[in-house]
Structure 1
Amino acid sequence: MEIYLDNNSSTPIDERVLAIMENVYLHSYGNADSRTHNHGERARTIVENARKQVASLLGINSSEVFFTSGSTESNNIAIQGLEEYAIETNKKHIITSAIEHKSVLETIKMMKKKGFDVDIVNPGLSGQVNAQEILDKVREDTLLVSIMHVNNETGIIQPVDILGGELEKRNVLFHVDATQSCGKLVEEIRNLKYNMLSFSAHKLKGPQGVGVLVLRKKRYRLPPVKNIMYGGQQEHGIRPGTIPVALVAGCGEACEIAEDEYKENSRKLKSLKGTLEQLLNDSGADYHYNGEQNCCIDSTVNICFKGVMSEALMLSSKQYCSVSNGSACTSKSYSPSYVLEAMGIPVEDIESSVRISWEPETNKTEFIDNVSKMIEIAKSLAV
């Protein structure tokens, strides 16, 4: 049976999370904003407990946690929600990188059409953007810098720690897309300086369809983010719409599990990465990594098998491994990865690259057996 190695797209849900959600669906079906009966009160209690679980993982106050449908919506609110403030202050300059998720890049491109000035910075071959290059672009009218913590295609960790401290000094709003790092780089996130942060529950063994936007308070005030949809005062008006209590409970439970187990999970992920490196080194395959591995998360690699079309490799080995060659949000497009293009990687190498991403409970024996078969297929396809 094939092994699932596309965890950067979505992780399998933890059975403990599913059990919590099932209980909520069956027994706590009230609307969390219904104020006149016990069913609503019980639902609201569940939501507020989940808010505390998220806050505990991130090391923040629960009043700074806002539930959304996922990172895409959170990213949109964090960026679009600043428009009114930008107009009031005449700060209409945004800085981001060329390797951000499409939910950031496309939103910022839309803001450009509305008259915002945008700078998009490319990384080098390392896959990491240069923090100083970003800081050098900061101006008096800079509203926002939006940089992801970990790239979803390469696993490369971005210098958000440096940026956070410097941008705070310059009074520039900083948004971090932590979709691929939340629950993994726990201590790093707790020590970050930022104004807004996004993540999705399904990237850390929670349910699909729910995520979080964190708005950090400064002098007891939230960032000047406004709602971009209308219809109610849920989530203090930041995100109107009925709160999906079971999904929120699942998100909270996934965060609590991640907080309890992240140190052991980190050890497991690192062990699996070492196993993969050994398999590759022993295989005799002609390959190289895309991105500097010294600044790569331990759950992901992006590999170029020289002379092997990635589409052919994935189709030929899908009975052994479920891997990908880019973000799930762009997988229907067979154009070269925009992330690898921005890094300056030649097109022929991009077309020969695959992403492998695993989770702590990935079975090591199955991992060795199935990945070995994929590597052998890659060698047979090399031209």
Structure 2
Amino acid sequence: MTVATPADSLVGATADSAAERPVYLDCNATTPVEPRVVAEVMAFLADEYGNAGSRTHGFGQAAKRRVNRAREEVARVVDAQADEVVFTSGATESNNLAILGLAPEGERNRRTHIVSSQIEHKAVLEPLEELRRRGFEVTLLPPTPGGWVDPDEVRRSLRPDTLLVSIMATNNETGVIQPISEIAALLADHETYFHVDAAQAFGKLIDPLRHHRIDLLSVSGHKIFAPKGIGALVARRRGYRRIPLKPLFYGGGQERGLRPGTLPVALIAGLGLAASLALREHGERIQQCEAMKEAALAALEPLGIAFNGDQARMAAHTLNFSIPGVDSEAAIVELKDLVAISNGSACTSQSYEPSHVLTAAGLPDERVAGALRLSWSHLTPSVDWVAVAERLRRLTGTAIG
């Protein structure tokens, strides 16, 4: 006789509930963990559980080897060196380390001007606000109506005392890809450091992030099918000189003293494998996401949707649009049993504040209030887009076509 355990009951309940759940279309908030990554993480939780800092036995040595390999895997995606990768808890910490960690250098050399944009994630805007309180001058550039930062505006904002330019690679709300390569090129003859928040772009946008004029690049594991709680800061050398970052906290000396604390080997292993898979399978994943977008647009465009962001620059896995006369909260409720979507960044969605990204682009209040963000991945199952469009049509009170 087989006796059911509590774990068996939990697995059964999870499988039943998953079958009834809507299709997840909020991958810009977080992605599912890739099954191969799950297996890798579990192996280093259950079997190879050594501390990478323990050098006196095989358990620690195995852990250290996996950490070193993960460093190489992350670095390879952006054409960096393995020892230029610092593991963190995620892109928020990486952004803070890049921005606040440069502050002492700026104060020492009286370079206290920073250029960024109004459409950055709060994980960039709030550290910048902290530096403003400390006496730094921060220039926040507005986006174009299409949701991207004009490189000429960056060039015009540069000054001899500009310490840092910080521009994201892909906007988390609109999916608009920013002109990172052009900005990197115009900084070629300027001493300023260039930081890119690549949380939404790492492993999805390859060539622009390999530009060696990018000094600092923030990575988030849970945006590329790795677990939450792990990320990295890539800090490229300039010649033989490392970026003069100071740590945010102290104790233990790990990660060259920039990020002390026991390394989460299992999470690092997951990030490393996720990075490797993203690079190897990049073309196939993009094709799948583009096919999903084509299917979505075929069903949704007859509703007269207004794109919130330049479609020519929008990532293959994201749509941000408004439907005339339709409020985003009403649409989310109407669709909740079909698809799980959002109306903006996960960091502000609980507050129901108008999107600072769409507001900065100069969109009318009704467009901002009606904005819907749909984001998917190569792991997303098929969506009944016709049903989605029909539900949204009900809210408009009109017939499709």
Quickly name the TM-score band, shorter chain normalised: over 0.9
The offset of 1:192, in angstroms, is 5.3
For the pair 1:327 / 2:345, whether they are aligned, the reply is yes
For the pair 1:78 / 2:98, whether they are aligned, the reply is yes
SS of match in other structure, 2:280:
helix
Q: How does 1:156-175 map to 2 (within 5 A)?
A: 156-175=176-195
1:42 aligned residue (46, 62, 67): 62
For the pair 1:188 / 2:188, whether they are aligned, the reply is no
For the pair 1:291 / 2:305, whether they are aligned, the reply is no
Measured in 2, the distance between the counterparts of 1:192 and 1:86 equals 22
Letter aligned with residue 344 of structure 1: G
The 10-residue stretch of structure 1 (23-32 or 206-215) with the greater mean CA deviation from structure 2? 23-32
Q: Which residue of 2 aligns with 1:312?
A: 330
Q: How does 1:198-209 map to 2 (within 5 A)?
A: 198-209=218-229
Measured in 2, the distance between the counterparts of 1:144 and 1:165 equals 15
For the pair 1:60 / 2:70, whether they are aligned, the reply is no
Measured in 2, the distance between the counterparts of 1:137 and 1:187 equals 26
Conservation of the 8 A alpha-carbon contact between 1:160 and 1:192: no
Measured in 2, the distance between the counterparts of 1:290 and 1:23 equals 43
Classify 1:266/1:192 alpha carbon distance in 2 versus 1 (closer, same or farther; 3 Å): farther
The 10-residue stretch of structure 1 (149-158 or 217-226) with the greater mean CA deviation from structure 2? 217-226
SS of match in other structure, 1:118:
strand
Measured in 1, the distance between the counterparts of 2:45 and 2:241 equals 35
SS of match in other structure, 1:301:
strand
Measured in 2, the distance between the counterparts of 1:168 and 1:233 equals 33
Measured in 2, the distance between the counterparts of 1:293 and 1:222 equals 38
Conservation of the 8 A alpha-carbon contact between 2:180 and 2:208: no
The offset of 1:84, in angstroms, is 1.1
Q: Which residue of 2 aligns with 1:356?
A: 374
Work out the percentage of aligned pairs sharing the same amino acid.
42
The offset of 1:55, in angstroms, is 1.2
For the pair 1:118 / 2:138, whether they are aligned, the reply is yes
Q: Which residue of 1 aligns with 2:357?
A: 339
Q: Unmatched 5+ residue regions in structure 2? A: 1-19
Measured in 2, the distance between the counterparts of 1:320 and 1:372 equals 11
Measured in 2, the distance between the counterparts of 1:294 and 1:228 equals 39
Measured in 1, the distance between the counterparts of 2:212 and 2:174 equals 21
Q: Unmatched 5+ residue regions in structure 1? A: none
The offset of 1:94, in angstroms, is 0.5
Q: Which residue of 1 aligns with 2:15?
A: none
Conservation of the 8 A alpha-carbon contact between 1:8 and 1:152: yes
Q: 1:68-118: CA deviations, max 9, x gaps?
A: 000000000000001111111100001100000000000100100000001
Q: Which residue of 1 aligns with 2:126?
A: 106
SS of match in other structure, 1:95:
strand
Q: Which residue of 1 aligns with 2:45?
A: 25
Conservation of the 8 A alpha-carbon contact between 1:5 and 1:322: yes
Q: Which residue of 1 aligns with 2:280?
A: 260
Measured in 1, the distance between the counterparts of 2:107 and 2:306 equals 47
Conservation of the 8 A alpha-carbon contact between 1:269 and 1:298: yes
Please identify the structure whose Cα radius of gyration is greater: 2
The 10-residue stretch of structure 1 (107-116 or 19-28) with the greater mean CA deviation from structure 2? 19-28
Measured in 2, the distance between the counterparts of 1:91 and 1:191 equals 24
Q: Which residue of 2 aligns with 1:225?
A: 245
Q: Which residue of 1 aligns with 2:168?
A: 148
The offset of 1:376, in angstroms, is 1.6
Q: Which residue of 2 aligns with 1:270?
A: 290
Measured in 1, the distance between the counterparts of 2:44 and 2:342 equals 34
The offset of 1:286, in angstroms, is 2.8
The offset of 1:14, in angstroms, is 0.5
Segments of 4+ moved more than 3 angstroms? none
Conservation of the 8 A alpha-carbon contact between 1:155 and 1:297: yes
Conservation of the 8 A alpha-carbon contact between 2:171 and 2:178: yes
Conservation of the 8 A alpha-carbon contact between 1:161 and 1:192: no
Measured in 2, the distance between the counterparts of 1:6 and 1:266 equals 17
Letter aligned with residue 242 of structure 1: T
Measured in 1, the distance between the counterparts of 2:280 and 2:31 equals 18
Q: When the two structures are superposed, what TM-score results if normalisation uses the length of structure 1?
A: 0.96
Q: Which residue of 1 aligns with 2:8?
A: none
Measured in 2, the distance between the counterparts of 1:86 and 1:272 equals 46
For the pair 1:376 / 2:390, whether they are aligned, the reply is yes
Q: 1:126-168: CA deviations, max 9, x gaps?
A: 0011111111010010000000000000000111111112213
The offset of 1:224, in angstroms, is 0.9
Measured in 1, the distance between the counterparts of 2:43 and 2:195 equals 35
CA-based RMSD: 1.1
Q: 1:10-33: CA deviations, max 9, x gaps?
A: 111011001011111111212111
Measured in 1, the distance between the counterparts of 2:284 and 2:321 equals 26
Q: How many equivalent pairs are there?
A: 377
SS of match in other structure, 1:148:
coil
The offset of 1:260, in angstroms, is 1.0
Q: Which residue of 2 aligns with 1:303?
A: 321
Letter aligned with residue 285 of structure 1: L
Measured in 2, the distance between the counterparts of 1:144 and 1:191 equals 17
SS of match in other structure, 1:232:
coil
